[in-house]
Structure 1
Amino acid sequence: MINLSCLCGQIRVELTKRPDFIHACNCTLCSKTGAHWGYFAPSEVAVEGVARGYVRDDKDDPAAEIRFCETCGSTTHFNLTASAVAKFGDTMMGVNMLLADERDLAGIELRFPDGRAWAGAGDFAYVREARIIGGEAEAD
């Protein structure tokens, strides 16, 4: 189990498992919200506290509602939007793994998808090689 919280502690997130990998995406949404995403089934995540939501308006059909703490501004997680749930089911949510203690993430692969160049369908290209968190060659 991994416990995370926003900076002020008003929002707490409890995970029943570690993520399979973490995305440090370079798209505008991820870089401006300051998030590295771990992906989970909604049943694997418990969120306590009230989070505000933001759905981007620069996309015709955005898939994610970013959730953040109203007090400290920390991005905590995302839920799929209603239109994404209608298409894919309520199958995934993202958690900002930058809120975790890095020791809890040791051994997990950190990937660097090129979200800025992604067309919105298909696989991501990557801007650099993945690394293992807590590995010897820490470059970040």
Structure 2
Amino acid sequence: MPFTATCHCGATRLEVDRLPEAVTACTCTYCSKVGGLWAYYEPGEVRVRADAEDRSYTATGINDHHFCGRCGCTTHGISPAFTEAHIGSGTLPEEKRWSINARLFDGVDLAAIPVREIDGRNLW
């Protein structure tokens, strides 16, 4: 059974076949302002269905933040697949991962999913 995350107006939908075991709250300046809780997936696990233009923003060229072109809701991101080994190493992984704003999952009780916080403001 697929799980669907939809933006506010419903024009952008992301589908996955499983819910995450945990979600991540990042304290970087971008994530703090959009209030996202991030569910991470391999690129092939996410299907995007959009009736509106997919818009994206990047401040550094490292992370691509996507949002609905109609309502402006932050829907997902594409970033390097960082591991603990990369923190402070000055290297970026070549592999990518997708993050869905878990707050957009329809009919999912987010309180039942553990939240991990990362200090994105100071780690990178």
Q: TM-score, normalised by structure 2?
A: 0.77
Report percent identity of matched pairs: 36
- Structure 2: 5+ residue runs without aligned partners? 81-91
Deviations 1:74-126 (A, max 9, x none): 00001237xxxx9423x4111000111463545321112222222x2xxxxxx
Task: List, as ranges, runs of 4+ consecutive aligned residues in structure 1 with deviation greater than 4 Å.
Answer: none
Which has the bigger relative contact order, CA under 8 A and spacing at least 6?
A: 2
- Structure 1: 5+ residue runs without aligned partners? 121-140
> In the alignment, what sits opposite 2:94?
88
> In the alignment, what sits opposite 2:76?
77
Higher strand share: 2
> In the alignment, what sits opposite 1:67?
66
- Corresponding letter in the other structure for 1:23: T
User: Between Structure 1 and Structure 2, whose CA radius of gyration is higher?
Assistant: 1
Task: Kindly tell me the number of residue pairs found equivalent between the two proteins.
Answer: 110
SS of 2:56's partner is strand
Say if 2:39 is the partner of 1:38. Answer: yes
SS of 2:26's partner is coil
The answer (yes or no) to whether the contact 1:26–1:116 under 8 Å persists in 2 is: yes
Name the stretch that deviates more: 16-25 or 102-111.
Answer: 102-111
Q: TM-score, normalised by structure 1?
A: 0.69
